[in-house]
Each structure stands twice: as C-alpha cells, then as structure tokens.
Amino acid sequence: MDIRLLRAFVEAADRQTFSEAAASLSITQPAFTKQIQQLESLVGTPLFHRGRHGAVLTAAGAELVGGARTVVDLAARFEARAKRVGAGEEGHLTIGFGLSSIGIAPRAVAAFRASSPGVSVRLEDMSSSAQVDGVRSGELDLGFARLPVPRDLRAIAVLSDHLAIAHPSERQPPADDAALPPWLDEHPLVRLSVGRGPGLAAQAARYVADVGAQPTIVQDADDLQTVLALVAAGVGIGIVPASARNIAPRHVRLRRLRGTSASWKIGVVWNPANETPVVRSFLDALATLPA
C-alpha cells in the first residue's frame, strides 16, 4: 500500500478538514481528495463523513487510524534513519591498524566518534598484509597499513615510520652510520617472524642488504612486545619500527636508522568496490584531523 495514502488519511484525521490536510502535505485539495478515495477503495469502505463542518472519521476510519498512524510513524523514522545512513552519520566500521599507526588510528577514531556518535567502530590490531587482505575481502572497511598497496585498493598517506635498532641501554650502537654494519654483525638479532610481520621483515632485510650487514638471527618472535622483551633480557638486538618506542621496556633504547630503505609510509586504505557512505564520512573526517 502506498504510504502517501496512509499519510493523507492520518493528516485528515488530525486536521478534520481536507483543505488543511492538503495544505500541510503541499498538494492540491483535488489531489488530496483523490488519495483518500483511493484508500477508501482499497479498504472497501468510507473512512470519513464530509460536511459543512469538515471531515469526521467513520466507525471504520476510527478503527483503522491508529494502525495507519503507527505505519506512518515507522515510515518517518525509517526515512530519517535512511538519510543518516546515506550521509554516513549512522552505521558500523571495522578498522585495522598496526604498531606504526598506533598514534593516529585511535586518535582518528575518537575524533570521528565524537562527530558521528551514530557510527559504531571496532579496531583490529593486525599486520599490514592482513589488513590488505581484510580490506579486499570486506572483513575490514578501512585499514592503516604500510604503503604501497595493490592497485585495486585506494590509499591516502597519513604518516611516515622508520626502522630503528632496539638495544639494551648498555649496548649503545655507534652514532656513525658507516660503523653500523660491523656493529650489527657483532650482535645477534631478534626478529619479528616473517609470518607475523612480512612487511617489517622485508623492510629490515632490505636495509641490512643495502648497508652490507649480515647479522645472525638468534630467535624469531610472534609480536613486537616479545622482540622488545628479548632485547631487554639481553638475548640480542632488534630491528623494529621507530614507533615501537611507545611500547619499549624501560631499559631498551631505540636508535633511529637513516636511508631510503629504512623508512616507509603508512596510509589509510580502503576498497572502492566496498566503499560506503560511512567510509567516505570517515575519510572526510580524517582529512580535517590536526597533524
């Protein structure tokens, strides 16, 4: 049944004149009268007594107007919600992030939730490669991942990160970059496993190859917290993101590395095939986030 007919029915019942009801709906009185007649034809009985003093509900009209009012109210609420969803003001987001984006991702989500309280957001901690897979499959709406990403995805760079040597405070690496390769060769290396952090592992491998070092790997770990804990325990040194300073134990120091192979960009990544209004709303909000 056309919701316009029910809306006209309720409006006429409330105002008790067809002329006022038509004006409130911004249609002509003949068009309004036709809608009431169509509804009466559908239900098979008159809904109004019309006379000099306006329009009064018949017994059947009085019986049906409550249900019509409920449907009209539900339609109005649905329409309002649909507009909020279409504007990206209501919905749900699942967002991936990693250690390099631990500073910006929660801050961006907090700012977005403050401006869009109708959107629920869930953050998932995972590697960049896992984020790319999740964004592509639709498991994630967005990710804060290492760039570049495959060509079927879209990304906007939001920050840079750098490799750093994590070392016990008593094993200070040389300040001179030229002296680093032999120093690296002299110290056993604790590494984040390739399966857990393929991007970081590849970045570290490129760096040591570029500087001509050949460190001995003594242990792989499944997360950076374990890498840093092993460094703190004196098992070896680690090559980690500089952003790992946020989680480094008290006696572990980080020495930032320089060079093109020691740095990379992090971007917010999404799949244009799965882009929703709420994804676009988040991207717009991110663009206004202070640096």
pLDDT in tens, the chain (291 residues): 899 999 999 999 999 999 999 999 999 999 999 999 999 999 999 999 988 778 999 999 999 999 999 999 998 888 888 887 777 778 899 999 988 898 899 999 999 998 889 999 999 999 899 999 999 999 999 999 999 999 999 999 999 999 999 999 888 999 999 999 999 999 999 999 988 888 899 999 999 999 999 999 999 999 999 999 999 999 999 999 999 988 899 999 999 999 999 999 999 999 999 999 999 999 999 988 876
Q: Where do the structural domains in the chain lie, given as residue ranges?
A: 3-86, 90-158+265-287, 162-263
C-alpha torsion 231→233→234→239, nearest 10: 0
Class of domain 162-263: alpha beta
Bridge-based pairing of strands 237-241 and 48-51 is unpaired
Q: In this predicted structure, what is the pLDDT of residue 42?
A: 93
Q: In this predicted structure, what is the pLDDT of residue 86?
A: 79
Q: Is residue 65 within 8 Å of residue 112, measured between CB atoms?
A: no
Q: In this predicted structure, what is the pLDDT of residue 88?
A: 79
Provide the token pair at 65: 């107007």
Q: CB 141: neighbour CB atoms within 10 A? A: 23
Q: What kind of fold does domain 90-158+265-287 have according to CATH? A: D-Maltodextrin-Binding Protein; domain 2 (3.40.190)
Q: In this predicted structure, what is the pLDDT of residue 120?
A: 93
Find all residues with CB under 8 Å of 137, minimum gap 6, and list them: none
Of 94, 108, 179, the residue nearest 139 (C-alpha)? 94
Evaluate if pTM is beyond 0.85. no
SS (H, E, C) the chain: CCHHHHHHHHHHHHHCCHHHHHHHCCCCHHHHHHHHHHHHHHHCCCCEEEECCEEEECHHHHHHHHHHHHHHHHHHHHHHHHHHHHCCCEEEEEEEECHHHCCCHHHHHHHHHHHCCEEEEEEEECCHHHHHHHHHHCCCCEEEEECCCCCCCEEEEEEEEEEEEEEECCCCCCCCHHHHHHHHHHCCEEEECCCCCHHHHHHHHHHHHHHCCCCCEEEEECCHHHHHHHHHCCCCEEEEEHHHHHCCCCCEEEEECCCHHHEEEEEEEECHHHCCHHHHHHHHHHHCCCC
As a whole number of angstroms, the distance between CA 275 and CA 270 comes to 7
Domains 3-86 and 162-263 share a fold: no
Q: What kind of fold does domain 3-86 have according to CATH? A: Arc Repressor Mutant, subunit A (1.10.10)
Q: Is 224 exposed, middle or buried (0-12, 13-18, 19+ CB in 10 A)?
A: buried
As a whole number of angstroms, the distance between CA 244 and CA 224 comes to 8
Q: In this predicted structure, what is the pLDDT of residue 9?
A: 95
Q: In this predicted structure, what is the pLDDT of residue 54?
A: 86
| Angle, CA of 157, 158 and 164, to the nearest 5° | 100
Q: Is 30 exposed, middle or buried (0-12, 13-18, 19+ CB in 10 A)?
A: exposed
